Amino acid sequence: MYKDLETKKIFNISPNPQTYWLIIYKFIFIWGMEFNSFLDYLLLEKKYSNKTIVAYKNDLKTFYDFNFDKFEQKGIKKVNYSQIRSWIVSLVADKISNSSINRKISSLNSYYKFLLKTGDIKINPLNEHKALKTKSTIQLPFSENEILNTLNSKNFKNSFEGFRDYLVLELLYTTGIRRQELIDLKIQNIDYSNRRIKVLGKRNKERYIPLIDSSLSSIKKYLEYRNKLKNIKSNDTLFLTSKGKKIYDNLVYRITKKYFSGFSTKLKKSPHILRHSFATHLLNNGADLNSVKDLLGHTSLAATQVYTNRSIEEIKKVFKKSHPRNKG
């Protein structure tokens, strides 16, 4: 990754094969020492998931590597904004999207805020930074008809995968849980007597969501097939692949896209759109905003109000198309 000349300058050792592993060790050691306390803070105090922490780690490492290559500087604690700006320019040149760049800078900003808190730096180099402009795209929820037509279709086979796929879609829509929350569901999370399911959300916060009759029935049917699987490798996990392993992100996405493709013309057919649909349909049918917030596992009303805004956009679209005064 690094040129011999740069290695010599940084580590002050002769770049030959005998010292190669010493170079690698020193690099990893320095990198680890710089970020370990921050990553521990995210895990232990902020209660971030492992997946989120890996994303932060990757973002920090990307800038660390760039700064090492470009400015021959060990560590990124004492960088200035012009160095970060150079990184942003290089990301743009690599055709990284503005939203992805903003996320990377957000990770970096969190790191510098942590260093301010611990007294390691006195000024955040990102204090004056302004996020790159991004296109505001409105993701419309599925209509109630699109969902009913999909779930009532004959595309679900009378097999393990058929019952699993049906339950995946039904739970995403009837509970509004996140994709990762669905993947992490345990069999013991299902409370049949109280007709509810326990969900472990972001930052390991637990919440209970009611289960409707059809969902409880679908769970029981699916479990009959699940329990017949051979070589189950994840006994507690609710959703498995046909090989007995825990399902994964891309599979949930593929399931959603596969079944909705025949009944929806929307460009995006993702698990998150089902979460949007859950919230929007509840609000459209008179549900209280605070109740929907709790069901979604949001910490603030602002996050839930996004779905209200999207519902309004849908109303505007219908109004523009249907109102007699708008017809030419």
Could you say which of 74, 202, 266, 268 is catalytic? 202
Helix (H) or strand (E) holding 198: strand 196-200
Clarify whether 164 is annotated catalytic: no
Which two three-digit tokens encode residue 284? 């459209």
Q: How many angstroms separate the CA atoms of 219 and 171, rounded? A: 9
Clarify whether 207 is annotated catalytic: no
Nearest to 147 by CA among 174, 165, 127, 125: 174
Could you say which of 104, 226, 276, 298 is catalytic? 298
3-state SS, residue 191: strand
Judging by beta carbons within 10 Å of its beta carbon (0-12, 13-18, 19+), is residue 162 exposed, middle or buried?
middle
* 117-142 burial code (b ≥16 CB/10 A, e <16): eeeebeebbbeebeeeeeeeeeebbb
Q: Which residues contact 280 (CB under 8 A, 6 or more apart)?
A: 141, 307, 310, 311, 314
Could you say which of 57, 103, 246, 272 is catalytic? 272
Per DSSP, the residues of 201-223 read: -GGG-EEEEE--HHHHHHHHHHH
Could you say which of 178, 269, 281, 310 is catalytic? 178
Clarify whether 203 is annotated catalytic: no
Could you say which of 173, 293, 307, 310 is catalytic? 307
3-state SS, residue 196: strand
Clarify whether 323 is annotated catalytic: no
Nearest to 171 by CA among 299, 75, 274: 274
Q: Which residues contact 64 (CB under 8 A, 6 or more apart)?
A: 31, 34, 75, 76
Which two three-digit tokens encode residue 121? 């730096």
Could you say which of 275, 281, 293, 310 is catalytic? 275
Hey, which residues are catalytic here?
A: 178, 202, 272, 275, 298, 307
